[in-house]
Structure 1
């Protein structure tokens, strides 16, 4: 039943992104980082807002507020970073697949949306490389609003890369302790 739901959800999500990309083509930014720990350990630390708790302890995130949900699909969270983004960044988790170790969030307010993007979607995937090694794959997809093309607004992959580095350090320290 869960696999069927996941398949249907991914198909519907793919159709949604596909239809929206016909209006405004999606641009992509990617970041990959190898972790010397199994993907299951990385995912366990990341999921259910675990990455935000790690980021708060490391002072990348000043605070975060769960506006709705429990860390799974439908959760809406407002994040206040310690640098930049004075008004915060709000996102909704639209996919949280424990089997595939994938989480997809859609920006609702702030970041790229505040400077001319119509959509921003962030995907984190913890991919198994070997039994003691994995890769954090982070992807950002965004579309630019009509009239903002010349400015070419885009989200910063740097925040995502920094989150991946924090997660790597946390998991490797815990796994190899």
Structure 2
């Protein structure tokens, strides 16, 4: 049943993205990790990467709060940033174990607070060899017409830092 719900959400999202993606801009970060894709996916699949990043970047992330859900599709997650108490809330809308893809839609905060109408975060864990993979982090976003001259954009640096943290954690625990 859970796989069917995930598949339905993925199909709905794919249709939505097919229609909406024409006006979306993208920021992407890729990082090679010398660990099997399945191990990296286990960290990214649920809440592990969010909690590990918050633990490692306490000067950036003050708190990670699960507002609803258990880490699966439908989970609503709120990140509160230090020191200014700004926050970002997202909902996991796709978790595809077969393709190792996780997608979250921004609900409030982030670039939505500075003029974006849509913010979608996507993680792809792409297998290279049996012992290596690529963590691909992508933020798709659209800017509201009235804010286009300001050119607001989300910040990919936190996702890049999370990938680096995952790499260090997983590669060091492999030994």
TM-score w.r.t. the length of structure 1 is 0.90
Name the structure 1 match of 2:169: 170
Preserved CA contact (<8 Å) 1:33 1:137: yes
1:63 correspondence with 2:83:
no
Partner SS for 1:136: strand
Deviation at 1:82, TM superposition (A): 3.3
Q: Secondary structure at the match of 2:147?
A: coil
**Shift in alpha-carbon separation, 1:82–1:151, aligned structure 2, 3 A:** same
Superposition RMSD on alpha carbons, in Å? 1.8
Q: Which has the higher helix share?
A: 2
CA distance in 2, matches of 1:3, 1:52: 23
CA distance in 1, matches of 2:52, 2:4: 32
Question: Structure 1: which 5+ runs fail to align?
Answer: none
Deviation at 1:4, TM superposition (A): 6.1
Equivalent-residue separation in structure 1 for 2:14 and 2:121 (angstroms): 14
How far residue 7 of structure 1 moved from its aligned partner, in angstroms, is: 4.9
**1:127 and 1:136 in contact (8 A); partners too:** yes
Match of 1:47 in 2: 45
TM-score under structure 2 length normalisation: 0.90
1:30 pairs with 28, 31, 37, which one?
Answer: 28
The answer on 1:77 being equivalent to 2:77 is: yes
Matched-pair contact (CA < 8 Å) for 2:93–2:103? yes
In structure 2, C-alpha distance between the alignment counterparts of 1:83 and 1:175, rounded to whole Å: 34
- Aligned in 2, Cα 1:11/1:149: closer, same or farther, shift over 3 Å? same
After superposition, the Cα gap between the structure-2 partners of 1:43 and 1:68, relative to the gap in structure 1 and judged at 3 Å, is same
Number of corresponding residues: 173
Q: Is the 8 A contact 1:52 1:61 kept in 2?
A: no
- Partner of 1:114 in structure 2? 113
Indicate whether 1:131 and 2:108 are aligned.
no
Moved more, 1-10 or 36-45: 1-10
Shift of 1:174: 1.0
User: C-alpha separation between the residues in 1 aligned to 2:27 and 2:8?
Assistant: 26
How does 1:4-23 map onto structure 2 within 5 Å?
A: 6-21=6-21
